Chain A
């Protein structure tokens, strides 16, 4: 059994792990990264990236269909589009592969040693990795657990056959004719909308009384409207009960308590994600847990000295960019630099149609903290660029402390607003006040003007409404 010793061992090469390893390498730390699957983790292989690729395909297809139906307001008519779904998937796979290779190249450039295989803790300083060439022992001064998360399985609706998770949904050979989506959160809706645009007849089953329950109703209303327009059947307050015996339908209990059968050739279950700790040998360690997740402190330290945890394995918000920031921080801590988690905001985006972006506190969350707030909201219907993109639905909303004008939160819903997260995040992180945002020239004509106008609105002198 070959043995490796290193200063820093990173378990998992997802966005948290590989960023941590690259940064550690940059800092001259002798680093090893272990990955059982492909480099890039969920995000790159079966999450963010491939889903965005498929969403893009769906959008383009839908636009073409829209034009074919002669429904564009600007007189464009096109022939009926045809989609070679196999090619679309191959295109997506190509992107994923390029990024896989890119991560590998970056790791090698940073002189990080990559070990393929599943890692299992032997003790707090030692890990055994089952590689193709046999088990390897890795001893490290410091270990970072970055194993990520996996889709949650419903016991009465186990994955397999027609019951799929987001991972399989991104690797289907053909567009399902009828797709039932269990869970109206952002993953279910992103994929549900994409498949609806690609021609699936989609039914979304959500146990709560509205879609995207983590966002406020005002923000999600344009999405709900769009779902209706796309012909997606959204069943709220409904519970999945199981699979029809033949496997060709989802059985549910409606909000009214009635049994109902939803015919579906694929049933996509997106009811959350659980930490990926199975087989990791956590039982060999004495880690404090936070539910199923690993409890961490402000340096991403666990209850065991020399062991850090980052990313989805540490709980919500399970977002790649959070994991990346944590990974970078832990690498710098490993290099002896004084660091701690002091971020003010973590942007969250739903790549639904329209998109939703949120940084910081919603008005309701801000009110709950007991502070007096003011809210400014600017509709894209009054934004020139939104009109010229034929995407007038949605708005930008800004939440600020009434007394100091300190911006506490920024949300937007609208077509293409995900890119506004950059400006929103910067404003929150820099501690901007309403005057800062209002006093910054925003280029015309852009959707970003809505941000400035929302700030002006909160200050009581919006120009364009």
Chain B
């Protein structure tokens, strides 16, 4: 028998390390050639590592969530045959996802919001994804939780004399305190918690409190999202403006346009209208279609408008990009939006499709609420959030009339965008959306 060491292969993109996101094997497993060993996630892509030979796993070199350098030992296999330990210069299997053709999962652009469609007439339920690998949740009930059943009502509280005395001196009725110790014993720590948080809320008979704690490791895409969100909120002083928009005329127009959809002219959601409105508004305020390199002290205003579309995927939030929206008409916008959103949800969006946005749209559609506080997609300087459309009575000067109203919640980087500029932009969007004909008039 010989030992073979499987090293983490170069998974492309000239990267130096990758994060281990999933193990398919454990020590002692007998595996066959081409069985999957592990999944690693690079900056953009999740890559499966197959076994090059048959053998028995004797050692694994990393924990889920660890960052593993390319070329470092990942797995040791006991393999049949003679000879000293041989290193296997692992080569990516043909067809395996590596390199620039690899399916890519972007975590770089991150938004707090989800589907690309504001109105759901052509939205599809998210499909099961193949890539990236879903973040694996590692659930572990703590031993404490296992051993802490609740007392039956009327039972004497179980606590040591010292705890009882302390409770009395503090004026606490221990019958109201939860015990996390063995057999539900109330500990000094429980008393501390009680003093901090007060009595547990009363509960009806039959309802029980649960004290299990499930640990979920934040790895892979979720970790990227977390890092991006933290970066954005830590560095960018957000200013958020919420404005209401009367979309009744737009909705009438949309209904008309959607009567006879074709492959080239698909059904429109509200988003393509918003995209066009943004193109027009940004032409007047190019300082909002920009990336702010705060370390260099430079705002790079982009002539091309690349709209990031915050999209909920089974793995988490991703932001595919509609490139050059300024060069697409409304149907072009709609087609591209549908295409990239679908690719992102299927986990097959390329790195290119997931990077390069200059401003971002976020919409939760029917879940959109009244107002949101969108998180800017760093290093961009603005994000437009779409809230739920509702019919509201609106005073038209003589009477109340029903109007389809929708709010826009937009955030701006207040370091480089003044409140005035932000307000002008939002008002311009409102004006364009409330008078949809203007969307189609040049100038």
Contacts and interface: CB of A to CB of B under 8 A. Distances in A.
Q: Do A and B bind each other?
A: yes
A428 to B, nearest CB: 11
A404 interface: yes
A339 B161 CA distance: 12
Given A342-B156, A433-B185, 12 more contacts: A337-B169, A403-B149, A404-B147, A404-B183, A406-B184, A429-B160, A431-B158, A431-B181, A431-B182, A431-B183, A433-B183, A435-B182
Nearest to A406: B183
B168 A404 contact: no
A435 B185 CA distance: 13
A344 B156 contact: yes
Contacts of A339: 168
Contacts of A344: 156
Contacts of B168: 338-340
Interface residues of A, number: 17
B156 A338 contact: no
A342 B182 CA distance: 19
B183 to A, nearest CB: 4
A431 B149 contact: no
B301 to A, nearest CB: 67
A62 interface: no
B228 interface: no
Contacts of A337: 169
Interface string B246-276: 0000000000000000000000000000000
B73 interface: no
Contacts of A436: 182
When A and B form their complex, which 9 residue pairs have the shortest distance between CB atoms, in order from nearest? Answer: A406-B183, A404-B183, A431-B158, A433-B182, A431-B185, A338-B168, A430-B160, A433-B183, A342-B164
A347 B161 CA distance: 15
Nearest to A433: B182
Contacts of A5: none
Interface in A385-443: 401, 403-406, 429-431, 433, 435-436
A258 B310 CA distance: 100
B154 to A, nearest CB: 11
Interface string B142-178: 0000010100000010111100100011010000000
Interface string A339-357: 1101010000000000000
Interface in A325-384: 337-340, 342, 344
Interface in A50-65: none
Contact of A406 (B158, B159, B169, B171): B158
A436 B183 CA distance: 11
Contact of B169 (A338, A342, A404, A429): A338
Interface string B189-233: 000000000000000000000000000000000000000000000
Nearest to A429: B161
Given A338-B169, A433-B182, A404 B160 contact: no
Nearest to B161: A429
Nearest to B148: A404
Given A338-B169, A339-B168, A340-B168, A405 B183 contact: yes
